[in-house]
Amino acid sequence: MTNQTTPAGGAGADQAATFPVLFLDDVVVLPGMVVPVELDPSAQATLDAARAGRTPTNHTSTDGDESTSRDPAAYQHVLVVPRIDGHTGVVGTVAEVTRVGRMPSGEPAVVLRALHRATIGRGTVGPGAALWVEADEIDESATPSERAQKLAAEYKTVLSSILQGRGAWQILDAVQRMTEPAELVASAGYAPWLDGATKLRLLETIDLEERLADLLTTAKDYLAEVEVTDKIREDVREGMEKTQREYVLRQQLAAIRKELGQLTGDGDADASVDYRTRIEAADLPEAVREAALREADRMERSPEASPETGWIRTWLDTVLDLPWSERTDDTTDITAAREVLDTDHSGLDDVKDRIVEYLAVRARREQRGMQVVGGRGSGAVLALVGPPGVGKTSLGESVARALGRKFVRVALGGVRDEAEIRGHRRTYVGALPGRIVRAIKEAGSMNPVVLLDEIDKVGSDYRGDPAAALLEVLDPAQNHTFRDHYLELDLDLSDVVFLATANVAETIPGPLLDRMEVVRLDGYTEDEKVSIARDHLLPRQLERAGLTTDDVAIEDEALHLLASSYTREAGVRQLERSVAKVLRKVATKLAMEQDVTTPVGVTVDDVTDYLGRPRFEPEAARPDGIPGVATGLAVTGAGGDVLYVEVAMMPGKPGLTLTGQLGDVMKESAAIALGYLRANGERLGLDTSPLADHTVHVHFPAGAVPKDGPSAGVTMTTALASLLTGREVRTEVGMTGEVSLTGRVLPIGGVKQKLLAAHRAGLTEVIIPKRNEPDLDDVPETVREALTIHLAEDVADVVETALAPVAQGATVAA
């Protein structure tokens, strides 16, 4: 810098003056400014040099003649050169020392007044230890251009706004009085919002217009920035004030409510404040919390006695009672799960296998971190289908125990209203959430086992279709955002294990059945019932009767008798009741009689004693010797059953009369039976002539029970053939199968249940369609051994097997 002799910009006076240089770090001094400078050693050296040099008066002093009357120190001039970030520029400011004194901190200092700018020239020699340079004054006497005037005016406006914003009223006043553009530029030296680089530019730029334009842009940018910051600050302040105001108002409201509560004796008056605290404290998902707080707000604004307050309160209670973030940890030990199932239930091996498979797949998917949605990964929802009392509900409980989850049962029998499942809208008086939400609440966790009991008994009417709502519950694609009408919040059901039970799969609404995997529980054989009774029913009933094994011992024979002659059911409900009855008798005996030796033994005779004569005889109850009666096997809601078909003929119009509440399918199969015999009777060696002038009457006893299905086809054909031949149907034979018009025997369902029923009823032979042969694998060994099973392909074979040999002297009836 020191060897630079040509001033930048080239403007200047003829002769160059020499000055000692005073470097100022990060301070730019523009002409007109008065600045205090601390006298550090280097500044002191510069001043000393100035004093020693007594620079000639060839500088432009604004003091004019006045200066002569001053202290000689006033004549000391220095060239102030700013050093911004360690760099120095090419222009400095000539300044005079106006005062010598001390800083407020006590350090020695001088006050400098900047006189004019000067371009820095060559370094020269001078007295003292300071650096001396030549400097050319920059001439600023030219009249400002019109543009400069305009720019200055605009800058003045912007600057005024800035100053107003900062509340610098005195400075604003001073600025307002300024008329010279150069003066305005010089005042920028004081501006704290301008950085060193900008000030340096203002110092070094020669052209006035350029300087003004630069200043104007910078000032405008700054003003815009200030306005944005102010806006943000204002917003924040307003927000805070609102929260504070709200807080204070709430406190006041709470106090008023409390006072009111004390006046009216209603202690609940500040409940809304309570709710707010409870909501804040509860572990709720964000969306739920927001909704709850919104409702709490509404509650605060509604009068205490309004019905709306009541509704909101119930709603908030429901929301707060739901276990939004509660979950239980699953047991993933499948062996342990199998043990739980085995301890809880005897037999049912294939059902347990299926359940264990289901659990194993779930556990694997969970271990792999895959989302197990409503059992999607492990097959559909399991539906346990079977007659009453076979343990469907209690198996559901066992599954929950095996998984280590909570268990809830949702009884769906007779549900006809969609709102039962999905809740009523809150606008209804007495609205409640639906059963699914209530079940989750009852479970107290978001991942319980929910048993949808009796799903086959869901009806539908004008109140909507509950099955449709259930579809959404069971559909893994939808059930993570299940919406209850009452709650109006998304409830995630994807972690719930749904199980369903039904007596018959056929009446489960189609689309629902489609989402389920049916596992059949067909009922128990007598032996199985006895072992269930011994291992499970008896211990439970002993406890209920307040007895122990030391008090009573029931013989196995007695249990067999109970199962075979006092009950006729697929499950074990009645058996359990009979056991309970026997135990009550024993308990009474123990209470009333003295000197009873314990344990009291219960034998077959004692059972008859306690319960009266057996209600069911093991052998088939059908009277012998009547042609036209055949024993069919059927499946009802209560499991398999035997049912008798009676056929009679009476003179009259040829055709059929059907009684016994038969469904359409059954009526058609009666017509097929008759049609087949009329067409093929002679080939079978039957005299079909009576059919031409007789009316055939087919009746299914137990007329009050509706019956349907095609599987009584063979039974009706056989009964009719028996009537035509006069040969009775053997009483020990039961049969089932659909018949086609050409006489083929078509397969039917429920083989296991039907065979169990035949066995229960004391039949020894059964005829089933040949194509049902694979189903025999499901039938318990003991039952298969006890029965002679005929597999029929043609109805002629059925007739031949079932009819008794021709009785001597018999004639064709009719």
Please give the annotated binding residues, written as ranges. Answer: 386-393
Which helix (H) or strand (E) segment is 380 a member of?
Answer: none
Cα distances from 694 to residues 338, 650, 689, 814, in angstroms, run 62, 5, 9, 9
Nearer to ligand ATP, 13 or 580 (CB): 580
Helices (H), 368-516: 392-403, 418-422, 435-443, 466-474, 510-514
Nearer to ligand ATP, 68 or 394 (CB): 394
List 697's β-bridge partners, or say none: 648, 657
> How far is Cα 765 from Cα 730, in angstroms, rounded to an integer?
9
Nearer to ligand ATP, 582 or 723 (CB): 582
- Which residue numbers belong to the known binding site for ATP? 386-393
Question: How many Cα atoms sit within 13 Å of 327 on the Cβ side?
Answer: 11
Determine whether 585 is an active site residue: no
Q: With binding defined as CB under 6 A, does residue 640 bind ligand ATP? A: no
CB 348 → ligand ATP: shortest distance, Å? 5
Q: With binding defined as CB under 6 A, does residue 394 bind ligand ATP? A: yes
What DSSP line would sit under 634-666, residue for residue? EEETTEEEEEEEEEEEEESSSEEEEESSB-HHH
Task: Choose among 432, 420, 431, 409: nearest CA to 459.
Answer: 420
Nearer to ligand ATP, 217 or 782 (CB): 782
User: Using CB under 6 A, which of 37, 95, 158, 348 touches ligand ATP?
Assistant: 348
Whether 643 contacts 700, CB under 8 Å:
yes
Strands 497-502, 516-520: parallel, antiparallel or unpaired by DSSP? unpaired
Stretch that binds ligand ATP, among 310-318, 344-352, 455-463, 674-682 (CB under 6 A): 344-352
In terms of C-beta density within 10 A (0-12 exposed, 13-18 middle, 19 or more buried), how is residue 170 classed?
exposed
CB 347 → ligand ATP: shortest distance, Å? 5
| Number of residue whose CB is nearest ligand ATP | 391
Nearer to ligand ATP, 388 or 448 (CB): 388
Strands 655-659, 694-699: parallel, antiparallel or unpaired by DSSP? parallel
Nearer to ligand ATP, 639 or 769 (CB): 639
CA 242 to chain centre: 34
- Among candidate residues 494, 565, 711, 722, the one labeled active-site is 711
Stretch that binds ligand ATP, among 162-170, 217-225, 254-262, 392-400 (CB under 6 A): 392-400
CB 754 → ligand ATP: shortest distance, Å? 19
Q: With binding defined as CB under 6 A, does residue 391 bind ligand ATP? A: yes
Helices (H), 462-524: 466-474, 510-514
User: Using CB under 6 A, which of 218, 346, 753, 772 touches ligand ATP?
Assistant: 346
Tell me which residues in 483-512 interact with ligand ATP (CB under 6 A): 501, 503
Stretch that binds ligand ATP, among 328-336, 375-383, 388-396, 542-550 (CB under 6 A): 388-396
> How far is Cα 678 from Cα 693, in angstroms, rounded to an integer?
12
Determine whether 711 is an active site residue: yes
Stretch that binds ligand ATP, among 41-49, 386-394, 492-500, 802-810 (CB under 6 A): 386-394
CB 571 → ligand ATP: shortest distance, Å? 6
User: Using CB under 6 A, which of 388, 423, 628, 632 touches ligand ATP?
Assistant: 388
Whether 91 contacts 119, CB under 8 Å:
yes
Stretch that binds ligand ATP, among 296-304, 340-348, 402-410, 669-677 (CB under 6 A): 340-348
What's the start-to-end Cα distance of the chain, in Å?
143
CB 779 → ligand ATP: shortest distance, Å? 17
> How far is Cα 439 from Cα 336, in angstroms, rounded to an integer?
27
Work out whether the CA dihedral 47, 48, 51, 53 comes out positive or negative: negative
User: Using CB under 6 A, which of 50, 341, 390, 729 touches ligand ATP?
Assistant: 390
Q: How many residues bind ligand ATP (CB under 6 A)?
A: 18
CB 523 → ligand ATP: shortest distance, Å? 10
* 599 prior amide bond cis, ω within 30: yes
Cα distances from 246 to residues 142, 252, 297, 768, in angstroms, run 63, 10, 11, 81
Task: Choose among 292, 268, 291, 265: nearest CA to 278.
Answer: 292
CB 567 → ligand ATP: shortest distance, Å? 12
Task: Choose among 20, 74, 18: nearest CA to 45.
Answer: 20
What DSSP line would sit under 92-126, residue for residue? EEEEEEEEEEE-TTS-EEEEEEEEEEEEEEEEE--
Nearer to ligand ATP, 572 or 724 (CB): 572
Q: Which residue has the tokens 């004390």?
A: 262
User: Using CB under 6 A, which of 211, 257, 345, 406 touches ligand ATP?
Assistant: 345
Nearer to ligand ATP, 95 or 504 (CB): 504
Nearer to ligand ATP, 95 or 399 (CB): 399
User: Using CB under 6 A, which of 121, 389, 423, 713 touches ligand ATP?
Assistant: 389
The b/e string for 456-488 (b: 16+ C-beta within 10 A; e otherwise) is bbbbeeeebbbbebbbbbbbbeebbebebbbbe
CB 296 → ligand ATP: shortest distance, Å? 42
Amino acid (one-letter) located at 341: L
CB 676 → ligand ATP: shortest distance, Å? 38
User: Using CB under 6 A, which of 32, 89, 323, 347 touches ligand ATP?
Assistant: 347
User: Using CB under 6 A, which of 16, 17, 572, 783 touches ligand ATP?
Assistant: 572
CB 486 → ligand ATP: shortest distance, Å? 28
- Among candidate residues 352, 529, 585, 754, the one labeled active-site is 754
Stretch that binds ligand ATP, among 369-377, 384-392, 581-589, 758-766 (CB under 6 A): 384-392
Listed as own residue / partner, the contacts of 249-254 with beta carbons closer than 8 Å and 24 or more positions apart are: 250/300, 253/300
Nearer to ligand ATP, 271 or 538 (CB): 538
Tell me which residues in 522-541 interact with ligand ATP (CB under 6 A): 532, 536
CB 766 → ligand ATP: shortest distance, Å? 24
Strands 77-84, 91-102: parallel, antiparallel or unpaired by DSSP? antiparallel
User: Using CB under 6 A, which of 83, 99, 560, 573 touches ligand ATP?
Assistant: 573
The b/e string for 631-655 (b: 16+ C-beta within 10 A; e otherwise) is bbbbbbebbbbbbbbbbbbeeeeee
Stretch that binds ligand ATP, among 175-183, 387-395, 598-606, 773-781 (CB under 6 A): 387-395
Nearer to ligand ATP, 18 or 503 (CB): 503
Q: With binding defined as CB under 6 A, does residue 393 bind ligand ATP? A: yes
Q: Which residue has the tokens 């059908």?
A: 622
Q: With binding defined as CB under 6 A, does residue 392 bind ligand ATP? A: yes
Kindly list the catalytic residues.
Answer: 711, 754
Q: What is the contact surface with ligand ATP in residues (CB under 6 A)?
A: 345-348, 388-394, 501, 503, 532, 536, 571-573
